[in-house]
Structure 1
Amino acid sequence: MVIADRRAGSTPPFLNPPLVLTVLEIRYPEIAGGLTDAAVAAMKEAVRDSLPVMAPQIEHQIGVPINSAMPPQVEQRSSPRFCARDQATALVVRSDALVLETTVYAGWVEHFRPLAKQVTEALERICAPDGLLRIGLRYIDEIRVPDAGGGPDGWDGYINPRLLAAAAADLRPDGMNPTTWQGLIQYQTEASCALNVRYGPQEGYAVDPQGPTRRKSVAPAGPYFLLDSDAFWSGDDEIPEFAADGILELCDQVHQAASDFFKIAVTDRLRAEVFDQHTKDPT
């Protein structure tokens, strides 16, 4: 039997959740004239209650000239970044995309969807983008089981055996024991929607504990099983209007795809022995 996904509804979060980062990206055509100072000030006011701290985020873009004799061009772009006071949730607004991310995900319905609604409605009202190009929702899980090694045998009973099949005993050359490996699956879900999943035993961290969006609780570095689910919608022949209600409906669709995969990837034993166990704060 597989477990219910507590991301999906009103069930309280796991006591010891494996989810370390959630990212929502909404892309749209470049806003004419870029983000004006007035637009940035209006966005700051719109998200003040949830994300009161603003600071610029500097990004570097590398452009490769058509003439190969010319050196690559490095451009620096500054975008406003709004974050919570604990720095665990943040919003970056660019002239062609907004990115909302958190390391303290507390459920889709209760926590993340309302934030997505708030920032999307604010952008629609303040900047009125010309349309919608893409929506991506990414969940990164670091599943850590005490005494589980990096190889497939340590994950028996915790991870769906079909996700361990590529490194099963009957596929291993004599004298070789896989420790770190990674699989990739792409599913076509609903119209214009897809789900990419990377998975497999890893070592260390999938998400840098020292990253700009702070992780509130960081386990000691060691073996973990990665589930990196990237569900997305992408427009085909038409560019729909940028309307918050429609965008949230598409967000619900891509969220459901990621939720459905999580349900089959992990087992009741993993929930009982790891996810629902009280753990000491490693900090």
Structure 2
Amino acid sequence: MGGGSVLKLPEHSGERLSRSPLILVAIQITFEDLGDIARADARAVQNVMGRTSWPGLFSNPILSGVLSATGINQQPTRQGWRITSPDAFSAASIAPDSATIETRAYPGWGTYSGHFSLLVGALAEVLDPQQHLRLGLRYINQVALPDWATDWKEFIPPTLLGPLLDETLGPGITATEQRIVIDVDEGAHCLLRHGAFADSDGKSQYLLDYDVFGESQPAFEPRKIMEEAERLHNVVRGLFRATITDKLYQHLR
């Protein structure tokens, strides 16, 4: 078990992969509850980010419930907002206690972190949160088994494949799903979801879903938030490289 140890993750150059398996990337920052966000405030955040690059503004009601002995008690709907890019592949979501920027067309860390920096700066200028409670990066990868391969043995480390390697059960397993909590160091943690499955066409896929996060209660300072985002991004890169084989990495390049 972790116990505050520091993992020695492999180096990753951060090069763009020609066969990138990324299907979704998101960064979320959590802060103290600011109350429902008015449309005028959401529009002001959009203006600071740049209306040309982020032209869409849509209401995004937030539904929540509390589990009790009698079931789930629905809580009052709260107001949130969604600001979208021209192609709608990227969006910034603003809630009373958090903000997220996500994309289904990842442009690389340099551009993507720039988008997040714009959002953080706009939040500081318009909404003025005082505490930075949690920062999380999520990278969801869906890797397709190469056409010339018959299984995952050469592409995913055996320690992750687990039951797929079992001589008795392995041939009959059609899907696996596992959740692993990893303490990377005292300030960074990861919930890794991974497993094999078949898509709608029957082609074998492997999910590698990294939810890397840090929790603290420092002041909401954009520069320090971006430094922490950079650090967590390096953690994601190292975890990705640690959970695929050299052969798969070369294939994705």
TM-score (norm 1): 0.77
CA 225–30 in structure 1, closer or farther in 2 if over 3 Å, else same? same
Q: Is the CA contact (8 Å cut-off) linking 2:36 and 2:79 kept in structure 1? A: no
Q: Is the CA contact (8 Å cut-off) linking 1:148 and 1:154 kept in structure 2? A: no
Q: Is the CA contact (8 Å cut-off) linking 2:36 and 2:78 kept in structure 1? A: no
- In 2: Cα distance, 1:4 partner to 1:188 partner: 18
Secondary structure of the residue aligned to 2:117 is: helix
Secondary structure of the residue aligned to 2:179 is: strand
- In 2: Cα distance, 1:137 partner to 1:42 partner: 25
- In 1: Cα distance, 2:119 partner to 2:156 partner: 35
- In 2: Cα distance, 1:258 partner to 1:37 partner: 34
- In 2: Cα distance, 1:221 partner to 1:17 partner: 21
Runs of 4 or more off by more than 3 Å in structure 1?
3-6, 68-71, 146-149
- In 2: Cα distance, 1:127 partner to 1:254 partner: 25
Q: Is the CA contact (8 Å cut-off) linking 1:183 and 1:199 kept in structure 2? A: yes
Q: Is the CA contact (8 Å cut-off) linking 1:197 and 1:227 kept in structure 2? A: yes
Pairwise CA distance, 1:37: 3.7
Q: 2:99 corresponds to which letter in structure 1?
A: L
Q: Is the CA contact (8 Å cut-off) linking 1:148 and 1:223 kept in structure 2? A: no
TM-score (norm 2): 0.86
Structure 2 matches for 1:119-130, cutoff 5 A? 119-130=119-130
- Residue 79 of structure 1 corresponds to 80
Secondary structure of the residue aligned to 1:189 is: strand
Query: Is 1:258 matched up with 2:236?
Result: yes
1:186-223 per-residue CA deviation (whole Å, 9 max, x = no partner) reads: 22123232111111102338xxxxxxxxxxxxxx6742
Structure 2 matches for 1:98-109, cutoff 5 A? 98-108=99-109
CA 249–71 in structure 1, closer or farther in 2 if over 3 Å, else same? closer
**Structure 1: stretches of 5+ with no match in the other structure:** 206-219, 277-283
Task: Specify which of 196, 200, 219 is matched with residue 191 of structure 2.
Answer: 196
Q: Is the CA contact (8 Å cut-off) linking 2:45 and 2:122 kept in structure 1? A: yes
**Structure 2: stretches of 5+ with no match in the other structure:** 1-9
- In 1: Cα distance, 2:174 partner to 2:88 partner: 34
Q: Is the CA contact (8 Å cut-off) linking 2:129 and 2:220 kept in structure 1? A: yes
Q: 1:159 corresponds to which letter in structure 2?
A: I
Identity of matched residues, %: 23
Between the two proteins, the alignment pairs up a number of residues equal to: 244
Pairwise CA distance, 1:70: 8.4
Secondary structure of the residue aligned to 1:35 is: coil
Secondary structure of the residue aligned to 1:76 is: coil
Query: Is 1:223 matched up with 2:204?
Result: yes
CA 204–78 in structure 1, closer or farther in 2 if over 3 Å, else same? farther
CA 147–64 in structure 1, closer or farther in 2 if over 3 Å, else same? same
Q: Report the more deviating stretch, 255-264 or 226-235.
A: 255-264
Pairwise CA distance, 1:74: 4.5
Pairwise CA distance, 1:62: 1.8
